[in-house]
């Protein structure tokens, strides 16, 4: 009887341990739990396109041909044939016509030096052109180019559509070195209800946090990026400087190819509004408590990294750890420490990023250590 009791107790303990290990692994292989409360966003810039003409206090025209680095075929103009406001909407119209030694015209407008932001939420409600060779885009470029020419200073594409696939849009980041040493990451969203992006308006959104970027279509999250680098700056470079917005419809180019006989012109991108928000809630706070600034370790060491966190407007749910070039770990259970194993020789600039349950981020002050 005693042996039977011991066996039963052992079996029960084994079951409990298995459940705990399963839940722990399950939690670590999934995103942290996030609440559904409304974040504290404040509108800081907008254009509802309620005027008669494009607002020159908000927008600039970019004019010219030459391919724009992508072998595009159009000539961008500031003519009202190509860009105008009508019925409360911005219209960018791509046309097949001979103009300035090009066979197509279109428009490309920017908020450079009139709307420049570091972090926040950007929403654009738009209906898109489609057809072989069409390439509408809603995107961001650096205002100050602090880390060098493209793409060392970064590019964020909120929405791109390749016209012969009208059901799918892409969100991307470009980073790394200056061309041709650049790299990119992207994700995509596909309409699965039989409609395409020319049939109706959709809201294309980007939430840009310190060390995190998230893309949405009609409020549905479809992509998240939190790992990138710049050859000319420490993480979270290059996405820690001001960027500005661009709207354009390209014709032709390396990605969509050239229009063909099936492509109908004119093609139009309609934009109902552009809205930019800043987060006004209290972010979590985080600092690295170990190792300490200037601490020296032996090559091959396993280095424990610990942090101190405090909640802001939400509870901290995970911490990610970075060097100046890469992510090295993450923790989803308080007190959110990690072990960094078998570290190679070098000088490392450590950062920790805390995420709260509303998916808002804060970065720690850096701590520099040496391994030799």
Domain count, the chain: 2
Same domain as 171, residue 55? yes
Check: CB of residue 334 under 8 Å from CB of residue 366: no
Report the C-alpha gap between 116 and 104 in whole angstroms. Answer: 30
Determine, yes or no, domain membership for 5.
no
Report the C-alpha gap between 137 and 112 in whole angstroms. Answer: 16
Check: CB of residue 184 under 8 Å from CB of residue 174: yes
Mean pLDDT value of segment 128-137: 98
Tell me the two tokens of residue 206.
């980007």
Check: CB of residue 307 under 8 Å from CB of residue 318: no
With 90 as the cut, is the pLDDT of residue 102 above it? yes
CATH code of the domain containing 105: 2.60.120.200
Instruction: Report the catalytic residues.
Output: 155, 160
3-state secondary structure of 57: coil
Same domain as 318, residue 272? no
Check: CB of residue 353 under 8 Å from CB of residue 332: no
Determine, yes or no, domain membership for 354.
yes
Determine, yes or no, domain membership for 20.
no
Same domain as 367, residue 257? no
Mean pLDDT of all residues in the chain? 91
Task: Please report which confidence band the pLDDT of residue 80 belongs to, taking 50, 70 and 90 as the band edges.
Answer: very high
Same domain as 136, residue 113? yes
Convert the pLDDT of each residue in 153-201 to its tens digit.
Answer: 999 999 999 999 999 999 999 999 999 999 999 999 999 999 999 999 9
What pLDDT does residue 31 have?
54
Last residue of a domain, one of 279, 301, 333: 279
Same domain as 142, residue 65? yes
Burial grade of 107 (CB within 10 A; 0-12, 13-18, 19 or more): buried
Check the CA dihedral 144-146-150-155 and report its sign. negative
H/E stretch holding 14 reads helix 2-28
Same domain as 237, residue 124? yes
What pLDDT does residue 38 have?
53
What pLDDT does residue 341 have?
97
With 50 as the cut, is the pLDDT of residue 11 above it? no
Same domain as 248, residue 346? no
Same domain as 249, residue 168? yes
What pLDDT does residue 24 have?
35
Higher pLDDT, 38 or 85: 85
What pLDDT does residue 40 have?
87
3-state secondary structure 205-273: EEEEECCEEEEEECCEEEEEECCCCECCECCCCCCCCCEEEEEEEEECCCCCCCCCCCCCCCEEEEEEE
Determine, yes or no, domain membership for 161.
yes
> Nearest Cα to 132, choosing from 270, 269, 253?
253
Same domain as 158, residue 64? yes
With 60 as the cut, is the pLDDT of residue 16 above it? no
With 80 as the cut, is the pLDDT of residue 52 above it? yes
Convert the pLDDT of each residue in 246-299 to its tens digit.
Answer: 999 999 999 999 999 999 999 999 999 999 999 998 999 999 999 999 999 999
Determine, yes or no, domain membership for 241.
yes
> Nearest Cα to 287, choosing from 304, 308, 265?
308
Same domain as 134, residue 267? yes
Report the C-alpha gap between 71 and 172 in whole angstroms. Answer: 19
> What domain range includes position 66?
41-279
Q: Indicate the pTM of the whole model.
A: 0.89
Q: How far is CA 279 from CA 210, 213, 364, in A?
A: 12, 14, 18
With 50 as the cut, is the pLDDT of residue 36 above it? no
With 70 as the cut, is the pLDDT of residue 23 above it? no
Determine, yes or no, domain membership for 4.
no
CATH code of the domain containing 359: 2.60.40.10
Cα angle 354, 357, 359; round to 5: 65
What pLDDT does residue 312 have?
86
Convert the pLDDT of each residue in 141-151 to its tens digit.
Answer: 999 999 999 99
Convert the pLDDT of each residue in 314-370 to its tens digit.
Answer: 899 999 999 999 999 999 999 999 999 999 999 999 999 999 998 899 999 999 999
């Amino acid at each position: 009887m005693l042996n039977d009791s011991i066996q039963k107790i052992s079996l029960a303990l084994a079951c409990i341990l298995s459940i705990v290990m399963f839940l722990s692994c399950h939690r670590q292989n999934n995103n942290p739990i996030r609440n559904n409360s409304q974040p504290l966003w404040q509108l800081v810039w907008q254009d509802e396109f309620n005027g008669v003409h494009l607002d020159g206090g908000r927008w600039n025209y970019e004019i010219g041909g030459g391919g724009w680095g992508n072998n595009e075929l159009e000539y961008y103009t500031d003519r009202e044939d190509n860009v105008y406001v009508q019925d409360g909407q911005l219209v960018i119209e791509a046309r097949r016509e001979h103009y300035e030694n090009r066979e197509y015209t279109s428009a490309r407008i920017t908020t450079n030096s009139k709307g420049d932001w570091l972090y926040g939420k950007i929403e654009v409600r738009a209906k898109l052109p489609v057809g072989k060779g069409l390439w509408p885009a809603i995107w961001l470029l650096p205002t100050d180019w602090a880390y060098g020419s493209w793409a060392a200073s970064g590019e964020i594409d909120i929405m791109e559509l390749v016209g012969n696939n009208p059901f799918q849009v892409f969100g991307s980041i470009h980073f790394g070195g200056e061309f041709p040493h650049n790299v990119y990451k992207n994700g995509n969203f596909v309409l699965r209800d039989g409609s395409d992006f020319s049939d109706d308006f959709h809201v294309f959104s980007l939430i840009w946090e310190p060390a995190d970027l998230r893309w949405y279509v009609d409020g549905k999250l479809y992509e998240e990026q939190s790992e990138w680098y710049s050859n000319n700056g420490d993480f979270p470079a290059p996405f820690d400087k001001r960027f500005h917005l661009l709207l354009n419809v390209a014709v032709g180019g390396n990605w969509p190819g050239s229009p063909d006989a099936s492509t109908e012109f004119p093609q139009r991108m309609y934009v109902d509004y552009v809205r930019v928000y800043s987060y006004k809630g209290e972010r979590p706070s985080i600092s690295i408590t170990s190792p300490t600034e200037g601490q020296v370790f032996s090559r091959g060491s396993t280095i424990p990294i610990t942090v101190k966190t405090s909640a802001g407007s939400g509870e901290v749910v995970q911490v990610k750890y970075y060097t100046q070039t890469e992510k090295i770990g993450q923790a989803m259970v308080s007190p959110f420490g990690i072990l960094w194993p078998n570290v190679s020789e070098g000088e490392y600039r450590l950062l920790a990023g805390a995420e709260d349950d509303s998916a808002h981020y804060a970065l720690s002050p850096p701590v520099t250590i040496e391994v030799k």
